[in-house]
Amino acid sequence: MTTDRRSHRTAASDRLLDRTPGLSARARRWTLAGLIAAFVVVALALVVSSTPWPSALAIRAVFERGAADTVAEMEPFVPETGVDARLEVATDDAGDPGGADTRLDVFTPTDAQGPHPTVVWVHGGAWISGAKENVDPYLRILASHGYTTIGLDYTIAPEATYPTALRELNESLAYVVEHADELGVDPDQIVLAGDSAGAQLASQLAVLTTNQKYAHLLGLDPALDREQLVGAILDCGVYDLRAMAELNGIGQWGFKVALWAYTGTKDWSSSYAGTTMSTIEFVTEDFPPTFISGGNGDALTWIQSVPMSDALADAGVDTTELFWAADHEPALPHEYQFHLDFEEAHVALDETLAFLAEHTAQQ
């Protein structure tokens, strides 16, 4: 019966194409196949142009493979002992069914008496991928030098749109402060840190804490007081969405898709989201002392990190920058700090630790 149905359909197709003069039977079949393929392409194009989901999920799959490779590259440099870990700490301890299902990982020195100066790290992933586990090895390394380090999770896009992630991160900071004693946190010595999109989010949290007008614009009450925030670490971040138009090629396409998914609009650069995400416009002299870095092979360095460093310095912020000459070899990629097979990544780690030592006081 199956063969009969297929034969019937083929015959029907032949009869349809028989109406087209001048075509052989084989050519007519190829024409029909071409029409069907064109219809599929047009349908897919309409889907892709109307929603960021397919492209965002494809980018996420690529990023997740890269993140796994980077974690594997860092793991040989993680101390085997000397760091205690508390993983998957739920921040919604009230059990509110309407609350965000956000969690955090906490790393503390095993033998040192707390509380410790605390680095709270926001992971990257272009706002559409990534997880706190991606920075687990790096946070263990920092913790081995006498700090409490905390990796935060947040709901990524397109599952949630702006400013959901920022609100969740602010709420997680409130949890960290409220539970400082049990987490080994010195609530008066907190450093906000992040990589890539996480650096953008960390910079937003820092501006939220230090610029009352900005907090009012966002409609959020900052979880931290200015006095609690003693520093910021910004690696390979995005701070000016209008400048993203200067990217080209596959990088521009990927960021356009990611920002469409994250903001919920194709017109993100001129929207409320694009404006408030551009923290370069909102830094003041109250922004905390900042360590900022980017690789010379990363296009974001020249249109994001360097201008942000200049804006911070112009505002009177104590700024420590680590940039490399444009012709430096090897060309250092995006998030080079995590590629500990590079000697330059260890330079960045040493300077990060020096920055922490300068702006915190360990017991």
- Residues belonging to the chain: 363
The total of other beta-carbon atoms located within 10 Å of residue 266's CB is 13
Cα separation, 226 vs 94, whole angstroms: 27
Q: What is the pLDDT of residue 13?
A: 43
Q: What is the pLDDT of residue 251?
A: 77
Q: What is the pLDDT of residue 282?
A: 98
Could you tell me whether strands 148-152 and 116-122 are parallel, antiparallel, or unpaired per DSSP bridges? Answer: parallel
Q: What is the pLDDT of residue 47?
A: 41
Residue 95 Rama label (left phi>0; alpha psi -120 to 50; beta)? left
66-359 has which CATH code? 3.40.50.1820
Show me where the domains of the chain are located: 2-46, 66-359
Cα separation, 203 vs 132, whole angstroms: 17
- Give me the residue label for tokens 């064109």: 38
Q: Are 204 and 279 in contact (CB under 8 A)?
A: yes
Bond before 158 cis per omega within 30 degrees: yes
Q: Which residues of the chain, if any, have pLDDT below 50?
A: 1-20, 23, 27-48, 94-99
As beta bridge partners, residue 65 has: none
Q: What is the pLDDT of residue 113?
A: 84
pLDDT tens profile 297-346: 999 999 999 999 999 999 999 999 999 999 999 999 999 999 999 999 99
Q: Are 292 and 320 in contact (CB under 8 A)?
A: yes
Write down the pTM of the prediction. 0.87
Distances (CA, A) of 227 to 148, 156, 190: 18, 30, 9
Distances (CA, A) of 53 to 40, 60, 157, 229, 258: 18, 10, 9, 36, 10
Q: What is the pLDDT of residue 93?
A: 54
Q: What is the pLDDT of residue 17?
A: 41
Helix-strand-coil percent breakdown of the chain, rounded to 5?
55, 15, 35
Q: What is the pLDDT of residue 250?
A: 78
